[in-house]
Structure 1
């Protein structure tokens, strides 16, 4: 079920199911119901344990002047209702610890009101509406999704693990023991690398290791793998186990960033991928690994699972099998349990395995000549999959389909079009048709566009009274957040947004998602080994839209607080670390940031010329 709506009089709550998260959207149907609106209180009842109210980032300046729920802090939405018409809930951020249970979550949302003299009135239970949603990693039939958490630059990460990026022990082997202590949390408690990795990798990590563990446990299964970056220690460990049993073949990128043409002189270490090749060969599998880079990169990130030699399952997506790919970048994976799809990926692997170690000969293979159609049955959505590198004409045709659909959405009547996206980069719009189209979208006031990229050519956010769309950057560097927000890790020159997905027509009759490993760049489609999926399915589209919303809303704030787009200051080992993170809500109070005590915040959500209003209509 895509969404669930509950109504109480003029008030409605709509819940959209995401990947182990829930988007809640609210509406008030009459002007009278919006008068003196103080916000929304949100109570959550998880499948196990006590219920709780979600917490706001702000509180009233004088909480005692307003009705307060005993036992709840001033910043609880019971006492400080939110001033938005949608809210994303991810279990485990403020409540339930690091490993909250999956299952049915009941959300009870209550509109709150001010008295004539600006005092918030007590909760009126009869005004509340409740929706119950299954919160779990997203699966539908033969297709399952997984997402990395993508919020290493967040207060939640800093609270759990401190203001430093996930890393590995200095001098440790490639497949080091991740159960060892990695650091201390804000309360001084030890945490391990595995705990940090599990929190950051989220459902994408679950999907990756679900496949690897299943193959390791069943002697009838074997694995073929395309890898670009490869250094995640537990992935490496499982692959070495399979190597010793002759149950894995790997095509591993050997472009210069992953391969030393001349072995480095000590004390410099070989690149991780070269280290892996040595370990894989030492396990007796030298003939089962191939290094290549097509025209430029072997850029796929793919598992193909076989049972007794027959392909049965595929994992693909944007997620590299590396510490950065799973634990720092915002990424996605897809698992497709379909023999026909798996057979096509197996054919691509075998063609690359049999071909030359480099060069672009694959572009001449019939496998690269056109997208292949699959699905359409109830248990597998209709989809097309294209395998590159392509000949130039094919590359233009494949990317042209994305551009054409974006243009179709922009031309939709009655402002019904929508485009959401999260892509690693948008440089080179003049020579890359998709980048150019996405960059221009947010300038079109007739289109609802919401997008994020590491390097957009411009950063804009809709002001009050504007209907133009949103484009924000996901790569603020040297970020030191002012009160009331914590300091967060500096990602330096790496990527935070590594996704490559575009969603068109989310709430229309034919929602479509483009995703996978392709950077959606014209040159990349001609020289990289990649796969690009086009999926027509409302549920899959919804999950990707929710991912875009989470990233855009989060990084929009960081964009406004980063020290500057060219700042590159990093913490130097051996020097005192940055100041400890501030307590977010205490710092807000000290900074004088408080909730307003009028309903002035409501107007933009009902102004038809403002994107806030279109946002409310679309989701609520």
Structure 2
């Protein structure tokens, strides 16, 4: 009889597994079995069970150092959740979790206690009419440590220069994940259909591949192009890209709202409207700047919505921005004071644009946060000193299930960029210095020293996402360029979508957020433990007593309630 309850959730890039069990007699850990039911990945064997691998072993194995791996039947997982990063778009797989009993080196599977098989399908929500895309920019990771060693990359500046080179195809494709795939497909569609025009409102346009794709469209590309964050030394961050697209015959409107030495007034949008003939048909939006760092080294996301209604509303905003040029007329703010009409298909979607007046956008976000019934997951960049994301922190103090990564400046415009990993008790703030990206600073046990220098990689998490009650009756996803801040509301050109009622989309975002959260939570734990002259966890326990503190912890119980509706 099964003694384990398993939940499995996926997007088009990851599977997040959560399982529950009481303390099991003799259990040294858990093996995870996977069966590929469909996959286009070369070399994968279908309909045959295999164990996921673990990279952490027992004490006697630690001397061999990092980059070891064993099936989880040999090195079992001593935890109750795991992310499988091998899943890809259109893959179909099933999983089960099996307790392993015995002693290290002679473990056996307790089959009668195993969970039931749970299947996942890595397809886009809404049958492709509401698609979400994520990249994989894990600069602080064992994988990146191996890549930079192999290629002789010595600094983050060199890494950005390498990944900026369009000839670095494998590196760009891996780090870009499904996000770069989705963006390429958008341009491919425009290339194949001469009647298609793209209308883009962009904060930054620096990536060589993207600039070339706009140039190829010529007069069919219409771009309202801001000047990024202006500096005295660089008043137009997009000068090179601007000149190239203009020379190629693209229709370019300069929106130079950012002034050197001035905070705010950014043309911060990152949206593209697809118009077929005279009909707006779909819109791309999210947090992703079209730069090498935005696409490949910062955590970002995008959505593509197939909706003529919504696309028409974004096109109207594009036209208002084009007419305003580098001005911010009061009429623009007044028009943005309420959400656009939105659409009810493929989901209930409510678009907001800024700058606006009286912070109606922030009040809407506050309403959504306060209305959470089960929990909130989020990724946020520079939300400012007050607003809905900070209210999330207050929600945590009141006992709600909240997990997320919060990046912001402290100490004013010249202050330090920090991030807090939110989850657990107030005594567990998980502060993370992102200005010097946090990774494993020096090799220990099974962990290699990770690539973590500063330089051009000064921001790790750039997404602006709220995922509310993904397993509830009214799931909500909020995503866009908006930083959930007063400046974003009152000063910048921004947009965000409130997407309600689409459980598949919400669970895809939940999977993504937990992948990011767990990745950096471990690295922060190591850094904070070493800073306190402690010794971080570094090997599997050879005794079943490892279960007791985990199973009884309030944190673990809260996780089970949220993910398994327990």
TM-score, normalised relative to structure 1: 0.76
1:535 aligns to what SS in structure 2? strand
Structure 1 residue 387, shift from structure 2 partner: 0.7
2:31 match = 41
How far apart in 2 are the matches of 1:600 and 1:523?
A: 51
Answer whether contact 2:30 2:72 (CA < 8 A) is retained. Answer: yes
For residue 280 of structure 2, what is the aligned residue in structure 1? Answer: 311
1:166/1:334 CA distance change after superposition, 3 Å: farther
User: Deviations 1:298-329 (Å, cap 9, x if unpaired)?
Assistant: 11101111111221111000001110101011
CA spacing shift, 1:474–1:404, aligned 2, 3 Å: farther
* Contact 2:9-2:16 within 8 A present in 1 as well: yes
Verify: 1:325 aligned to 2:325, yes or no. Answer: no
Number of the residue aligned with 1:132: 119
Contact 2:197 2:274 (C-alpha < 8 Å) held by counterparts: yes
Kindly state the Cα deviation for residue 261 of structure 1 after the two structures are TM-superposed. Answer: 7.6
Q: Name the CA distance, whole Å, in 1 between partners of 2:177 and 2:433.
A: 19
Structure 1 segment 25-40 matched on structure 2, within 5 A: 25-28=18-21, 31=22, 34-40=24-30
What is the root-mean-square deviation in Å for CA atoms of aligned residues? 3.3
Are 2:200 and 2:222, in contact at CA under 8 Å, matched by a contact in 1? yes
1:111 and 2:99 are equivalent in the alignment: yes
Q: Out of 118, 128, 134, which is 1:147 matched to?
A: 134
Q: Is the partner of 1:372 in helix, strand or coil?
A: coil
* 1:436 is the counterpart of 2:390: yes
CA 1:57 to 1:292, structure 2 compared with 1: closer, same or farther past 3 Å? Answer: same
Maintained 8 Å contact 1:363/1:526: no
- Per-residue displacement from partner, 1:118-164 (whole Å, max 9, x unpaired)? 88641244443322221345554521000111312211222344465
Shift of residue 504 of structure 1? 2.0
Instruction: Map 1:42-441 to 2 at 5 A.
Output: 42-46=32-36, 47-48=38-39, 49-50=44-45, 52-62=50-60, 75-91=70-86, 102-114=90-102, 121-128=107-114, 129-136=116-123, 140-162=127-149, 164-165=155-156, 178-179=166-167, 193-243=168-218, 246-255=219-228, 257=230, 273-285=238-250, 288-293=252-257, 296-361=265-330, 363-366=332-335, 368-377=336-345, 380-391=346-357, 393=358, 395=359, 397-409=360-372, 417-428=374-385, 432-441=386-395
Residue 498 of structure 1 corresponds to 462
Structure 2 residue corresponding to 1:554, chosen from 497, 519, 525 = 519
Shift of 1:229: 1.5
1:169-204 superposed Cα distances (whole Å, 9 cap, x missing partner): 97x9xx98622xxxxxxxxxxxxx121111001011
* Contact 1:221/1:306, CA 8 A, preserved across alignment: yes
Query: How far off its partner does 1:373 sit?
Result: 4.1
Higher relative contact order, chain-length normalized (CA < 8 Å, sep 6+): 2
Q: Cα offset for 1:550? A: 1.1
Consecutive unaligned residues of structure 2, counting only runs of 5 or more, are 62-67, 259-263, 411-418
- C-alpha distance 144-472 of structure 1, shift in aligned 2 (>3 A): farther
Using the alignment, how far apart are the partners of 1:462 and 1:137 within structure 2?
28
Assess if the C-alpha contact under 8 Å between 1:453 and 1:473 holds in 2: no
Judge conservation of contact 1:419–1:505 (CA < 8 Å) in 2: yes
TM-score (norm 2): 0.83
Alpha-carbon spacing, 1:460–1:316, altered in 2? closer, same or farther (3 Å): closer
C-alpha distance in 2 between matches for 1:194 and 1:102: 22
Q: Distance in 1 between matches of 2:223 and 2:421?
A: 43
Using a 3 Å threshold, how does the CA distance of structure 1 residues 468 and 514 change in structure 2: closer, same or farther?
Answer: farther
SS at match of 2:83: strand
CA distance, structure 2, for counterparts of residue 168 and residue 595 of structure 1: 34
Equivalent residue pairs, number: 522
SS of the residue aligned with 2:215? Answer: helix
What residue ranges of structure 1 are gaps of 5+ in the alignment?
1-7, 64-72, 93-99, 180-192, 263-270, 567-590
Instruction: Tell me, yes or no, if the aligned pair for 2:271 and 2:283 is still in contact at 8 Å.
Output: yes
C-alpha contact (below 8 Å) 1:56/1:81 kept by paired residues: yes
